Structure 1
Amino acid sequence: MQLKNKCILLTGATGGIGKPLALQLAAKGAKLILVGRDSNKLETLAQQIHNKGGNAKTLVANFAEQGATQQLAQQAPLQFGNVDILINNAGVLDFILFEDQSPERIAQMIETNVTAPIQIANALMPHFKANNQGQLVMIGSILGSLGFPHYATYCASKFAIHGFSQALRRELVDTNIGVTYIAPRGVNTPMNDAATLAMLAKTGGNVDEPEKVAQIIVKAIEQQKQEVFIGQPESFFAWLNGFLPSVVSIGLKKQARLAREFAAKNKH
């Protein structure tokens, strides 16, 4: 798929992956609708894109607010007259002992990571169906296939998005609407706090730079990939977990024990 002049709706546009992704998509000639909660950050990013000769508009949306996803889906096609690609990138993450995670934070995580992206896709589906074209890109995680200790709610949210992506792709098999699921491993973004980074260093966890992840996402969109898992050995363990979860559990025992002291420092 050629991205030049494609209209792309990008949520979480000013985040760790979102910003380099927006810049790389703009460099390909895509017309961007940047979505986020902070209007100042959005306008700064849009101006940066314009200064480089790109084309971007902004929409402020807080997915914790009722009706935000429907409003976004109504406003987005009005920006450039069409939406060709939806990239659901917005998300929140906690590295925490499950008993220390508040009910309010659990609800927020499910709302942001699961409910909002599904509702946006649902609201845009009539638009895609009417044109019989479009691409939904869901930014998931390796932890959407591999349950990892101290990320229980986050894993639940990404498992949900992974299953949603598979089911919807199969439902749309006789259309020209594609569904791409991207599963990064750890990414060096502000979502990972000091305790998380210390834990990853202690346990030997790998972390990719957001620019590298953004490059892989852009390539996956261009090639209209179905699923892309980023990084080894994490991708292998995610695959193995589907067949021999008990073996993976044994392998993670040491990491779980090492990680616990760092997770215990966080409360939300």
Structure 2
Amino acid sequence: MKAGQARVLLTGAAGGIGRAMVEALTARGAQVLGVGRGADGPGAAWLQADVTTAEGQQSIVRAAAGWNANVVVHAAGVPAFGPLAGVPAERLQQVLTTNLLAPMQLTQALLPQLQRLPRAQIVFVGSVLGRIGLPGFSVYGASKAGLQGFAEALRRELGDEPVRVQLLAPRTTRTGFNDAAAQAYNDATGAASDTPEQVAAALVELIESEAAERTLGGAERVFARLNGLLGARMDSGFAKHRRSLAAPAKPIPGHRS
């Protein structure tokens, strides 16, 4: 649908990418209800809620109904980077809960009201790291790979229903707090990172095109296809990057919107 027709419920709206998304959507005429853990955030409409709790999810579902949201964008997420040995157990659980379980639960709760609309869209913000397993991104990549699988299966499950399921897969994005992870991605792949503004622009284009998926970066699209075809044969190509992670280290400081 055209952005001017969209009433968007956007989780993770207080983060670097989320703020850019709010700005890009509103600039194109969309109405945006931002969701985040803080008391306030970007844009005119705001809901304070934690996507990982039952109470937060219930308040989001109620707000979506009152807002008459016809587009849901799951952009809330937390990063994790470093050797698996250095990822605390509580961090591992936080990443999987925020990046994978919460959007699954919210989608299940929101789907009945979206199915009553003439047309609606659900956009999952994944990552190319859900398609290309890189050293240091095992936990984060697992969460995004799961999200990709969920989106793909749900899209096929809904079939010809008026609810479109879409996946946006950006590269690592430099938001200030995760630049170390972004640099590691650049070193491992030889590819560039995205800016929040590039991801936000891609989101608007995806919503308006109603395409099933959008992966940022031409090299990444090719690499993802090769990874799917060749799999383990590509493992040795990451030896240098793997050795740089040999010493266990703490993951980068977290951020959750």
TM-score scaled by structure 1?
A: 0.87
Contact 1:10 1:88 in 2 (8 A): yes
| Per-residue Cα deviation, 1:34-59 (whole angstroms, up to 9, x for no partner) | 0111123x1xx22xxxxxxxxx3100
Residue among 56, 59, 73 paired with 1:68: 56
Partner amino acid, structure 1, of 2:23: L
Q: 1:130 to 1:64 in 2, by over 3 A?
A: closer
Percent of pairs identical after alignment?
A: 36
Q: Which residue of 2 aligns with 1:186?
A: 172
> What pairs up with 1:201-212 in 2 under 5 angstroms?
202-203=187-188, 204-212=190-198
What secondary structure, in the 3-state scheme, does the structure 1 residue paired with 2:4 have?
A: coil
* Alignment partners' CA distance in 2, 1:94 and 1:234: 20
Partner amino acid, structure 2, of 1:154: Y
* Alignment partners' CA distance in 1, 2:29 and 2:216: 25
Q: 1:267 to 1:136 in 2, by over 3 A?
A: closer
What secondary structure, in the 3-state scheme, does the structure 1 residue paired with 2:64 have?
A: helix
Say whether 1:77 aligns with 2:65: yes
Residue among 142, 149, 159 paired with 1:163: 149
Q: 1:150 to 1:158 in 2, by over 3 A?
A: same
What secondary structure, in the 3-state scheme, does the structure 2 residue paired with 1:186 have?
A: coil
> What pairs up with 1:1-268 in 2 under 5 angstroms?
1-40=1-40, 42=41, 45-46=42-43, 56-78=44-66, 80=67, 82-193=68-179, 195-200=180-185, 202-203=187-188, 204-260=190-246, 264=249, 266=251
Q: 1:198 to 1:137 in 2, by over 3 A?
A: closer
* Alignment partners' CA distance in 2, 1:9 and 1:229: 22
Further displaced range: 64-73 or 101-110: 64-73
TM-score scaled by structure 2?
A: 0.91
* Alignment partners' CA distance in 1, 2:177 and 2:104: 22
Q: How far apart are 1:259 and its partner, in Å? A: 4.5
Contact 1:20 1:211 in 2 (8 A): yes
| Per-residue Cα deviation, 1:221-253 (whole angstroms, up to 9, x for no partner) | 100010111113222211211111122212222
What secondary structure, in the 3-state scheme, does the structure 2 residue paired with 1:131 have?
A: coil
Q: How far apart are 1:89 and its partner, in Å? A: 0.3
| Per-residue Cα deviation, 1:96-154 (whole angstroms, up to 9, x for no partner) | 11111111111111110011111111111001112242100000000111111111111
Q: How far apart are 1:213 and its partner, in Å? A: 1.6
Q: Which runs of 5+ in 2 are unaligned?
A: none
Q: Which runs of 5+ in 1 are unaligned?
A: 47-55
Query: Comparing both chains, which one has the higher relative contact order based on Cα–Cα distances under 8 Å and sequence gaps of 6 or more?
Result: 2
Matched pairs, number: 252
Q: How far apart are 1:71 and its partner, in Å? A: 2.2
Q: 1:165 to 1:112 in 2, by over 3 A?
A: same
What secondary structure, in the 3-state scheme, does the structure 2 residue paired with 1:122 have?
A: helix
* Alignment partners' CA distance in 1, 2:19 and 2:57: 21
